[in-house]
C-alpha cells in the first residue's frame, strides 16, 4: 500500500511538472509611470512604426510591410503589450500598413483609423490595391469596423488628444506620381503641454499653413515626412519650431537627399535624430518636459 501511495505521489508530481512546462511563458508587462507617456520610433529601416502608450492606453501607428511586420509585433510583445486601443494607418502604402494584418492577428484592437483614401482605393485612381490587400483580408475575416480620419477630427484616447490637420484634399495618379503620399494623414498628438507631429509620407504644406496658425502648429517633436526626404519651406519650419526632428532614415541618406531642409532645422536649433544605429528613438513625456533616449529594446526593458 505504501509503495502504491509513493508511486501515486511521484506520478502526480511528474504530471504537474509536465503541465507547468507546457504553459506559455508570457513577457512581463512593463508599466508606464502613471503620469508619463512614451513615444517609440521603432527602428525598422524605411518601414515606419510608432508606439505611443501611457499607463493605460496604447496607440500604434503604421508598422511596416507585411514581410517585416513581425519586427513590430515582437517589439510590442516584448514590452508586454497585449491590447491596442487605437491602430492608425497614416496612408495607403505597403511599407506602412500591410503589417496591420499581423497586428490584428496578435493583439486585440479596439479601433482602426485610416484616411478617406482607403474607402476610395478600389473606386478611383488613388492607390494600388496590392498595398492594402493583407489588411483588408484580415479586417473582413475578423469583421472589424474601419473608421475614417478626416480634417479637423479630434480623437481622445485617455489623456492623449489627436487633432487631424491634413490632408485637406485628395489626389489621384492623374495628378501625382505618388498620390498615397500626397494623401497622408497629418495629425498632432497632445499630452499635457507636450506635442508630437506625425506626417506619414507627405504634407500639403501650403494648405496647412493657410488653415492653421503658428500656435496651432508649434510642436516639440516633428516626424519629418517621407523618411526625411520631403523638402519643407523655411516658413513652415519656423511655424512648427520643433525641439526634435526625427528622420526614419539614416544620416548619410538625409545628407545626400535633403541637406537644405536639414540646415533649416539646424538654424532654429532643432536636434536632428536618425536611424543611423540599431537603436530605437524613444521620447518620455510627463506632460511638461520631454526626455529623449536612444536605446535598443533590450536596453530599454532593462531600465
In DSSP terms, 155 is beta-bridged to: 162
Q: What confidence tier does 19 reach under pLDDT thresholds 50, 70, 90? A: very low
Mean pLDDT over 172-179 rounds to 79
pTM summary value: 0.88
Q: What confidence tier does 209 reach under pLDDT thresholds 50, 70, 90? A: very high
The answer to whether the CB of 59 falls within 8 A of the CB of 88 is yes
Asked if the model's pLDDT at residue 21 lies above 50, the reply is: no
Name residue, grid cell 519586427: 71
Mean pLDDT over 115-141 rounds to 79
The three cell numbers of residue 56 are 493605460
For the chain, the structural domain boundaries read 33-301
Q: Give the angle subtended at the CA of 168 by the CAs of 249 and 188, to the nearest 5°.
A: 50
Asked if the model's pLDDT at residue 3 lies above 60, the reply is: no
Query: Distance (Å, rounded) from C-alpha 186 to C-alpha 181?
Result: 11
Asked if the model's pLDDT at residue 2 lies above 60, the reply is: no
Q: What is the pLDDT of residue 217?
A: 96
Asked if the model's pLDDT at residue 20 lies above 60, the reply is: no
Asked if the model's pLDDT at residue 69 lies above 70, the reply is: yes
**CA within 13 Å, CB half, 287:** 9
CATH class of the domain defined by 33-301: alpha beta
Name residue, grid cell 526626404: 229
Q: What confidence tier does 45 reach under pLDDT thresholds 50, 70, 90? A: confident
Amino acid at each position: 500500500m505504501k509503495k502504491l501511495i509513493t508511486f501515486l505521489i511521484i506520478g502526480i508530481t511528474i504530471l504537474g511538472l509536465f503541465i507547468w512546462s507546457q504553459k506559455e511563458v508570457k513577457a512581463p508587462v512593463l508599466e508606464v509611470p502613471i503620469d508619463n507617456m512614451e513615444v517609440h520610433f521603432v527602428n525598422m529601416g524605411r518601414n515606419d512604426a510608432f508606439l505611443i502608450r501611457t499607463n493605460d492606453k496604447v496607440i500604434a501607428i503604421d508598422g511596416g510591410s507585411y514581410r517585416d511586420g513581425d519586427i513590430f509585433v515582437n517589439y510590442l510583445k516584448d514590452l508586454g503589450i497585449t491590447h491596442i486601443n487605437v491602430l492608425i494607418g497614416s496612408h495607403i502604402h505597403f511599407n506602412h500598413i500591410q503589417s496591420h494584418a499581423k497586428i490584428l492577428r496578435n493583439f486585440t484592437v479596439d479601433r482602426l483609423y485610416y484616411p478617406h483614401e482607403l474607402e476610395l482605393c478600389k473606386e478611383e485612381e488613388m492607390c494600388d490595391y496590392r498595398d492594402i490587400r493583407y489588411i483588408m483580408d484580415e479586417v473582413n475575416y475578423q469583421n472589424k469596423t474601419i473608421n475614417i480620419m478626416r480634417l479637423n477630427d479630434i480623437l481622445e484616447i485617455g489623456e492623449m488628444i489627436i487633432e487631424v490637420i491634413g490632408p485637406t484634399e485628395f489626389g489621384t495618379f492623374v495628378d501625382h506620381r505618388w498620390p498615397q503620399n500626397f494623401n497622408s494623414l497629418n495629425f498632432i498628438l497632445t499630452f499635457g503641454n507636450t506635442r508630437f507631429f506625425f506626417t506619414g509620407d507627405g504634407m500639403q504644406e501650403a494648405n496647412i499653413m493657410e488653415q492653421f496658425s503658428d500656435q496651432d502648429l508649434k510642436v516639440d517633436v516633428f516626424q519629418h515626412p517621407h523618411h526625411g526626404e520631403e523638402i519643407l519651406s523655411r516658413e513652415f519650419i519656423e511655424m512648427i519650431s520643433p525641439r526634435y526632428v526625427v528622420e526614419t532614415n539614416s544620416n548619410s541618406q538625409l545628407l545626400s537627399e535633403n541637406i537644405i531642409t536639414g540646415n533649416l532645422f539646424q538654424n532654429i536649433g532643432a536636434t536632428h535624430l536618425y536611424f543611423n544605429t540599431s537603436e530605437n528613438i524613444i521620447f518620455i513625456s510627463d506632460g511638461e518636459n520631454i526626455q529623449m533616449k536612444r536605446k535598443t529594446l533590450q536596453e530599454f526593458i532593462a531600465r
